[in-house]
Amino acid sequence: MSDGDARHGATGAATTPDKGEEGALAEGIDVRVYRRRWATLLVLCLALSATMLANTSLSVALPQLSRALGASTSAQQWFSDAYALVFAGLLFTTSSIADRYGRKWMLQAGMVLFGLVSVYVWLFVGSSTEMIAARALLGVGGAMIMPVTLSILTSVFPSGERTKAVGIWAAVSGAGSAAGPVIAGVLLQYFSWESVFVINVPVVVIGVIAGIRYIPSHTGTEGGHGGLDLLGALLSTAGITIAVYALIEAQYVGWLSPRTLSLVALGLVLLALFALWERRVADPMLDVRLFRSRGFSASAVALTLVFFAMIGVFFALSQTLQLVFGYSPLMASTAMLPMSVMMMLIAPQVSRIVDRFGPRNTIAVGLLLAALGMVGLSTLTVDSGYWQILLPLSCTAAGMSLAMAPATDQLMANVPRERAGMGSATNDVTREVGASLGVAVLGSVLGGSYAARISDSLTGLPEQLRQTAEESLPGGMMVAESLGARGQRLADEVSVAWMNASQTAYLASAGLIAVAALVAWFFLPGKTRRTETAEVRASSETERSASEEPDSATERSDSANDRSDRATERSDTAVTEQ
């Protein structure tokens, strides 16, 4: 069989790969996998959207769900916390298993689990305990799906297209977070709370069927590792779960309470043991030496700080829209939808921007733009109109779109392709820990500032009502409503106190994002590797052309001399003949 026939049999199509296919082959990507890369990305985005919808739509359905199940306040907290704890705790374990034994089956199994649990909630859940268990199982499914989507993406796209693909992936992640509450709000207008879970089923069915064809069974990067690191899996799962649980509970029991401090200490000790073990084991789940890379470490720190700032602030903004400005849950969700539109518009352009200006400049400018948006939100008052909300939100969304994809790409670029799951898990853990910290820390800052500002307005109220009003914005509004006509003045004062406290939180978030911008500026590379390669190639070609110029000039001179000699010979011959 000839080489051409061999190539034809391997690719099933053209005998000669084009330039893009040659580049993919050079990076170890099979031609058939490369040709289906955009269809693969579509399936990955479908799987990702299922997890985002499930995770963000619950807040809108919570009031109806809680009434239907008779859930206590503690149970309502666990509806959210069960998912977050299981999801964060299993990220490294599921990614490690996928890297060793296959990413496709992990993704497909995660989607099937997601669909089955959604059907179970739809048809059978009738108590808070069952709902908490179902949310924990959804967390297992999410941990199987989300990190694998990114690791498959980086394995089917060559480096020249990876930033664009990651940009679309990040845009779907961000847009899904914003669209989830809107879709849930629309469903709840016409159907029961179960519809929020039913919507996952068709997404999962389409994703699983399409995944059979378009998700490669083997990308050339899985396998080749040792067995599963069981001790590492146990230490990472326990350490992350305990640490995230401590952060979630701190806002309720106090940051300096013995319970919080002991749980944080235990979680950190387990994570330290995990890091020490990973340095000794032959085939680690997380190669801690990656943190020596400035690009990997800076990207992880930047992502953590950004999600710390963003999630905490938007948690507060949702309450502001509903309780201060009087938006319905659906209106509040729709008001934040332009963020998704902005992300989807900018995401396809990020790759070209990075190629032109480099990851360092793009990420730093994007983060500064997001910080500027936060500063704009800090100017809101109780009398602000929607346009005063929309412009800062759009600015923040534009900045996040510019920063998140190249930051994620830089983190993944420093991880070997065969261990892409490790990098993807790190990316997701930074986001989850940052989000948990944001809700806990900024929530505490916001709550403390609000309580201090509203305290004087509560003078004369019974102690129980006073405590309820100081605890939160919903508590303050509930107390004001219970006072009847006399409560209108208190409601106005509660709104003003909350908006003033929010200004502090927005400015703190702007400062954190600015710190992330500094980290990106000082530690991330100024150019992408493909840009550097292109410049080296262009420089080499220029030098080669310059070295060839003297030879060409000599050849032209010799040719001219030869023509002159031949002309002289003809002249001499003519004279002789005469």
Cα–Cα distance between 108 and 101 in angstroms, integer?
Answer: 13
- pLDDT above 70 for 548: no
Q: Token pair for residue 94?
A: 């599921």
pLDDT in tens, 136-149: 999 999 989 988 88
Cα–Cα distance between 82 and 131 in angstroms, integer?
Answer: 10
CB 396 within 8 A of CB 207: no
- What is the predicted pLDDT for the residue at 418? 67
Q: How confident is the model at residue 6 (pLDDT cuts 50, 70, 90)?
A: very low
Q: How confident is the model at residue 564 (pLDDT cuts 50, 70, 90)?
A: low
Pick the CATH number of 35-221 from 1.20.1630.10, 3.40.50.720, 1.10.3720.10, 1.20.1250.20: 1.20.1250.20
The mean of the pLDDT values for the chain is: 80
- pLDDT above 80 for 2: no
When mean pLDDT is compared over 168-177, 187-196, 432-441, the highest value belongs to: 187-196
Q: What percent of the chain stands above pLDDT 90? A: 17
CB 424 within 8 A of CB 95: yes
When mean pLDDT is compared over 21-30, 114-123, 412-421, the highest value belongs to: 114-123
Handedness of CA 397, 145, 79, 188 (dihedral sign): positive
For residues 362-387, give the mean pLDDT: 91
Q: How confident is the model at residue 92 (pLDDT cuts 50, 70, 90)?
A: confident
pLDDT in tens, 401-455: 888 888 888 888 877 776 677 777 777 777 777 777 776 677 777 877 888 888 8
286-529 has the same fold as 35-221? yes
Q: What percent of the chain stands above pLDDT 70? A: 84
- pLDDT above 50 for 1: no
Q: Which of left, alpha, beta for 220 (phi over 0: left; psi -120 to 50: alpha)?
A: left
Cα–Cα distance between 246 and 196 in angstroms, integer?
Answer: 29
Task: Tell me the one-letter amino acid at 496.
Answer: V
- pLDDT above 70 for 570: no
499-538: buried (b, 16+ CB within 10 Å) or exposed (e) per residue? bbbbbbbbebbbebbbbbbebbbebbbebbebbeeeeeee
Q: How confident is the model at residue 15 (pLDDT cuts 50, 70, 90)?
A: low
| Secondary structure in 3-state letters for 185-205 | HHHHHHCCCCHHHHCHHHHHH
Q: What is the pTM (predicted TM-score) of this model? A: 0.72
For residues 495-502, give the mean pLDDT: 90
Q: Could you state, in order of their start, the residue ranges of all structural domains in the chain?
A: 35-221, 230-279, 286-529
Q: How confident is the model at residue 109 (pLDDT cuts 50, 70, 90)?
A: very high
- pLDDT above 80 for 386: yes
Helix (H, G, I), strand (E, B) or coil at 1: coil
Residue with more model confidence, 308 or 17 = 308
- DSSP conformation letters of 414-449: TS-GGGHHHHHHHHHHHHHHHHHHIIIIIHHHHHHH
Handedness of CA 398, 399, 400, 406 (dihedral sign): positive
Q: Residue ranges of the alpha helices (H) in 191-293?
A: 195-198, 200-214, 230-253, 258-280
- pLDDT above 50 for 3: no
- What is the predicted pLDDT for the residue at 12? 43
When mean pLDDT is compared over 262-271, 278-287, 556-565, the highest value belongs to: 262-271
When mean pLDDT is compared over 142-151, 223-232, 471-480, the highest value belongs to: 142-151
Cα–Cα distance between 14 and 8 in angstroms, integer?
Answer: 6
Q: How confident is the model at residue 154 (pLDDT cuts 50, 70, 90)?
A: confident
Cα–Cα distance between 395 and 233 in angstroms, integer?
Answer: 40
Task: Tell me the one-letter amino acid at 124.
Answer: F
Is 286-529 CATH 1.20.1250.20? Answer: yes
- What is the predicted pLDDT for the residue at 205? 93
Q: Which of 408, 368, 411, 353 is nearest to 531 (CA)?
A: 353
pLDDT in tens, 309-318: 777 667 677 7
Instruction: Tell me which long-range contacts 268-274 makes (C-beta under 8 A, separation of at least 24).
Output: 268/239, 268/243, 269/239, 270/235, 270/238, 270/239, 270/242, 271/235, 271/236, 271/239, 271/240, 271/243, 273/235, 273/239, 274/232, 274/235, 274/236, 274/239
- pLDDT above 80 for 35: yes
Cα–Cα distance between 55 and 81 in angstroms, integer?
Answer: 11
For residues 48-58, give the mean pLDDT: 80
For residues 216-238, give the mean pLDDT: 72
Residue with more model confidence, 292 or 510 = 510
- What is the predicted pLDDT for the residue at 532? 47
CA 390 to chain centre: 22
- pLDDT above 60 for 538: no
- What is the predicted pLDDT for the residue at 300? 86
pLDDT in tens, 331-348: 877 887 888 788 888 878
- pLDDT above 70 for 10: no
Helix and strand tally (H, E) in the chain? 24, 0
CA 542 to chain centre: 41
Provide the 10 A C-beta neighbour count for residue 362.
Answer: 25
Residue with more model confidence, 14 or 103 = 103
